[in-house]
Chain A
């Protein structure tokens, strides 16, 4: 399968804790992206990391990419209840094809 696969499928943490989600894939990529989806809404882009990059930061988000292991991780630091959502990784492959994994459901308890 070309699409990314996230783990864990579900993650429940307390407010203030860090949340780490992982994504693995099987093909060569142009870039890897992370998206967030609140229940019943469309997906919202969080961060994009290119295949020649190893780490990227955006606010409380930190993304790493290891192309040799074909894996990526998303770290959300100092989580808040408002971070509760589903998080998806997406890989862009040749021809701008963008496919998504099955997502991680994150619950941050106040």
Chain B
């Protein structure tokens, strides 16, 4: 398996634009996590899914953020409209079940100017 695949690796966009980050988890994994990492706030859990169902989205900063998992092999994190303070590295991770390790993608570095 190629591991967790995130795209794009880098995204530069203007304030107010819509941004969509994509994640393909490892086949057979049924938990998927979205994290945001910044120097100021560390690694924040934004939302996670079990069996494609959102379980906890309390970490989503505000209504501008939304996440979907239409099937077991694909998830998106959308920011609309984007703001400069959204600039961060966004990670997707997946795991097979509770009690096992999570595998991380390489992240998407988002810059909003």
Enumerate chain A interface residues (CB-CB to B < 8 A): 30-31, 33, 41-45, 48, 50, 88, 90, 92, 95-103
Enumerate chain B interface residues (CB-CB to A < 8 A): 4, 31, 33, 35, 42-43, 45, 48, 50, 55-56, 91, 93, 95, 97-107
Q: Report whether B55 and A48 are in contact in the complex, using a CB–CB cutoff of 8 Å.
A: no
Q: Report whether B35 and A100 are in contact in the complex, using a CB–CB cutoff of 8 Å.
A: yes
Q: What A residues does B56 contact at CB under 8 A?
A: 95, 97
Q: Report whether A33 and B101 are in contact in the complex, using a CB–CB cutoff of 8 Å.
A: yes
Q: What A residues does B103 contact at CB under 8 A?
A: 45
Q: Report whether A97 and B45 are in contact in the complex, using a CB–CB cutoff of 8 Å.
A: yes
How far is B44's CA from A97's CA once the two chains are assembled, in angstroms?
12
Shortest CB–CB separation between residue A84 and chain B, in angstroms?
18
